[in-house]
Amino acid sequence: MSSDSSRSAAKPLASLAHVKAAGWGRGLSTIVRITHMTLRHPWQTSFAIGSTLVAATLQLMIPRLLGHAVDQTQTAFAGGAAGQAAEAALWTTALLLLFVSIFRGLFTMVQNYFSEAVGHHMGYELRLACYEKIQQLSFSFHDSVHSGDLITVGLLDLEGVRMYFSTALVRMVLLTMLIGIGAYMLLSTDMLLGLLALSFVPFVAWRSSVTQLRLRATWLDLQERLSVLTRIMEENLGGIRVVRAFAAQAYEILKFEKASHHALSLAHNRVGIRVVNTSAMNFSFFAAMGLVLWIGGNKVIAGEITVGTLASFLTFMTILQMPVRQLGLMVNAFARASTCGSRVFGLLDLDIAIKDAPDAKPLEVTAGTLRFEDVGFAYPAAEDRPVLKHISFEARRGETIAFVGPPGSGKSTIAHLIPRFYDTTSGRITIDGQDIRKATLQSLRHAVAVVQQDSFLFTTSIENNIAYGDPWAKEQRIERAAESAQLHNYILGLPTGYETVVGERGVSLSGGQRQRLSIARTLMLKPAVMVFDDSTAAIDAATEQRIRSAMKRFARDRVTIIVAHRLSSLMHADQILFVENGQIVERGTHQSLLAAGGRYRALYDLQVRPEDELPVLKKGA
């Protein structure tokens, strides 16, 4: 893996500041990309846009029809033949107005349905793409990104992109039709009244846009504060036993209250922004309507226009009021889609550090020999500080290789390199002479199984947890794996046996039981290489001995790698490698290392003969 790809994979998601700094160029490209996504659903998009055009046209007919109805009513009151003709025409206008209103409603319903359909299709596609991407990203990426940020992208940011079509694109078509064509109709009828009727539009459009952008900015800030609130609650729930054990409920409540009040104060600020600007927009609208009534009334008295014409102006102003206010919502929708889309696409466009090579082939395990050849490794975030240097060893089928050493010496890193959770910086790792970087990940991880110290369990039955790697395994295989992990008898003692559902992350089981269940899950796969990364740390010595005895028949047909701090877990190994500062400083069997009297012997004396600890400490003082 190149260092460039490592850095790309480890780079966290773009922050809000980074998205703002990207400028209009990136924002415009994001909008274009989202718009292009809508074209993947051409007939839904066509129905939505077409229905919007028809609905807008029908809505523009309503003020004219109402104006004609007022004039016809006035003529009908005059009586005579003209009055009777006007009354008949009024019935025609009323029916036409009824049909126009009904069809406008129907086409608006079609517009809303297909607009939402396009949005939900986009959301479905992006949701799957984001989830698939998260599954593919390497450990180095997840090491540098908080899971809450990924959840925010997959929920809130994705929602902002999903709403773009209905709240921005379709709304832009609707407002362009209503304001553009409507303004032309008014100005062509009477220039002065048209200008007065439209006088509130620039002010309302400006205030609405500014308000929505301010609300958008404060919403992002509120989202951050709510994220903090969520993290506090999540941490409290995860550590509820610690909180109760230290009687820290009052402290946790105070911490939550401060974060909650911090969010509440911003929510109040948002309400103030909305109320002040709504009042200003209402005032400008009614001021414009008052001018139209005053000037238009004088024109009616002077006989320059009819009462119906004045009524059509007032009706159009009423119809136009809400769409003009929606200009701000439309601007906000574009801004939200740009910001949210930048984060969503920022995730989707990340390079995958650990992936199949172009010429990768399935791993073919024959002799089952694992070999490290002068392997070096440094984490992407600290490439100048190598964790491993010149690691070389060979493990053949049936052999057990153990790693021991002080914390932070690189033991677990060696275990994580074998299944390619990370890629080596230098050197190579082979299985039967095949470089694991040239093998497909699926075949490699079927051949290499890792049991980690932190045993994650899913909220499902014990049977499903054990058979996670092979969901169609027969019950006998599941039970044999549980027996080898010394868990079968415990499971039989449960009320519902293997159907017992473990709690979230397996909290209903003890640490040792969770580790044994993880071991059973690994044994189900029958891998060529089994890696135990301090996976028996929470298991008592007697149970560990029984597990080791039961696993001897499994170990005969595969390579076994053990990483442990407790020497009793690895004394039986065919070869023990002592790792310090990322290098192998001692290697040999348990007896030969004891005879050498080096670091391993010192660690053995410290663990097996703790009464010697005090003299050793005095001697080194």
Q: What is the pLDDT of residues 356-407, one digit of tens each?
A: 888 889 988 888 899 999 999 988 777 778 899 999 999 998 899 999 988 8
Query: With 80 as the cut, is the pLDDT of residue 409 above it?
Result: yes
Residue where the block lists tokens 């694109």: 169
Q: What percent of the chain has pLDDT over 90?
A: 16
For residue 609, what pLDDT is reported? 62
Tell me what the mean pLDDT of segment 30-47 comes to: 89
For residue 20, what pLDDT is reported? 42
Q: How far is CA 372 from the centre of its chain?
A: 37
Which neighbouring-strand residues pair with 451? 532
Higher pLDDT, 270 or 538: 270
Tell me what the mean pLDDT of segment 535-561 comes to: 72
For residue 505, what pLDDT is reported? 54
Residue 129, both tokens: 């793409």
| Rounded distance between C-alpha atoms, residue 396 and residue 382, angstroms | 33
Residue 167, both tokens: 């709240």
**Given pLDDT bands bounded at 50, 70 and 90, which one contains residue 550?**
low
For residue 26, what pLDDT is reported? 65
Are 601 and 593 in contact by the 8 Å Cβ rule? The answer is: yes
Between helices 613-620 and 599-608, what is the axis angle to 10°?
A: 130
Cβ-based burial of 230 (10 A; exposed 0-12, middle 13-18, buried ≥19)? middle
- Give the number of other CB atoms < 10 A from CB of residue 23: 9
Higher pLDDT, 325 or 291: 291
Tell me what the mean pLDDT of segment 3-18 comes to: 40
Across 246-256, b (16+ Cβ under 10 Å) vs e yields eeeeeebeeee
Report all structural domains of the chain as residue ranges with CATH numbers, in order of start.
7-348 (1.20.1560.10), 370-588 (3.40.50.300)
**Given pLDDT bands bounded at 50, 70 and 90, which one contains residue 537?**
low
Query: With 70 as the cut, is the pLDDT of residue 540 above it?
Result: no
Are 561 and 532 in contact by the 8 Å Cβ rule? The answer is: yes
**Three-class HEC string of 476-516:** HHHHHHHHHCCCHHHHHCCCCHHHCECCHHHCCCCHHHHHH
Among 285, 286, 421, 319, residue whose Cα is nearest residue 9: 421
**Given pLDDT bands bounded at 50, 70 and 90, which one contains residue 418?**
very high
Residue 400, both tokens: 């057990």
Going across the sheet that includes 575-580, the strands are: 448-451, 529-533, 559-563, 400-404, 575-580, 583-588
User: What is the average pLDDT value for the chain, to the nearest integer?
Assistant: 81
Q: What is the pLDDT of residues 472-497, one digit of tens each?
A: 888 888 888 888 888 888 888 888 88
Is the four-CA dihedral 15, 20, 21, 26 of positive or negative sign?
positive
Tell me what the mean pLDDT of segment 262-286 comes to: 86
